[in-house]
Amino acid sequence: MGAAEMISSPFDIDTLIGGAAGLSALVTRTNRSTDRPHLTDILRYVESRTRGKTTANLAAWEYSSSGGFAFEDAMVGLLEDRMGESLASSGCRTLGLVRNFECERDGIVGSPDGYDPVGDVYQQLVGSGDGIHLPDPMGEGWEFKVTWSRAAPEDRWYWMNQFRAYAYMTGSHTTNLVALYLLGTVRGGPPMPRLVGVRYRWSDAELAQTWISVLSGYRQMVKESADVP
């Protein structure tokens, strides 16, 4: 008998995960409302009009979002595993993040990746300190991102405006970002994946100005839609 040969048989993981619509169906995993304007659509509209970013390649955006969802699930599970002993000692089984939910402000809905209503998840993971490390008594947002870009989070217009808008919508002043940079963060450097964590504390003025821009963008989006015959 001859040596056994490898047999490979591809299968359609897109369909297995996302059903008939493929992986892009994961974008709606939070049972996103369809009868009210969503922050995501407004920010994408504003970015396309003011920063020249096209929204034509919707499929690419959906795949990127789906990759972020998968990373979010994996990262939260990993953090809970690493924090298992301290979580158990406090009688908890999870980090305490509220996930897969919608928030609403002025008729606009949003779906943050995670929200810590107590404001102590960061303390469990990183430890206590002063200044920026103090828990936010109004709760804290958590966002999980995956990107091919090497641009710093602060240079990502969409990310920053999304973070501030969600903070405004939930009444928080804090956003904790966990990002997977698939090609690393050093321009011209080796394409080595890197995890980046950043904690942002926002001022009232920053949040208010961002929300004014969101409302203005929404009004313009509605007007433009109404002008289309």
Instruction: Look at residues 204, 198, 209 and name the one whose alpha carbon lies nearest to residue 175.
Output: 198
Higher pLDDT, 134 or 198: 198
Q: What is the mean pLDDT of the chain?
A: 78
pLDDT band at residue 53 under the 50/70/90 scheme: low
Q: Is the dihedral of CA 94, 145, 73, 25 positive or negative?
A: positive
Contact 43, 214 (CB under 8 A): yes
pLDDT tens for 77-124 read 777 676 655 544 544 445 678 888 899 999 999 999 989 988 778 877
Relative orientation angle of helices 157-170 and 39-50, to the nearest 10 degrees:
140
Q: Phi then psi for 163, rounded to 5 degrees? A: -60, -45
Q: Which two tokens stand for residue 185?
A: 């963060």
pLDDT at 160: 96
Q: Could you tell me the residue ranges of all domains in the chain?
A: 58-227
From residue 65, alpha-carbon distances to 40, 43, 45, 81 in Å are: 11, 14, 16, 24
Tell me the pLDDT tens digit for each residue of 19-44: 444 444 444 445 556 678 999 999 99
CB 108 within 8 A of CB 218: yes
**What distances in angstroms separate CA 53 from CA 47, 160, 161, 214, 216, one per listed residue?**
6, 16, 15, 17, 18
Angstrom distance (rounded) from CA 227 to CA 229: 6
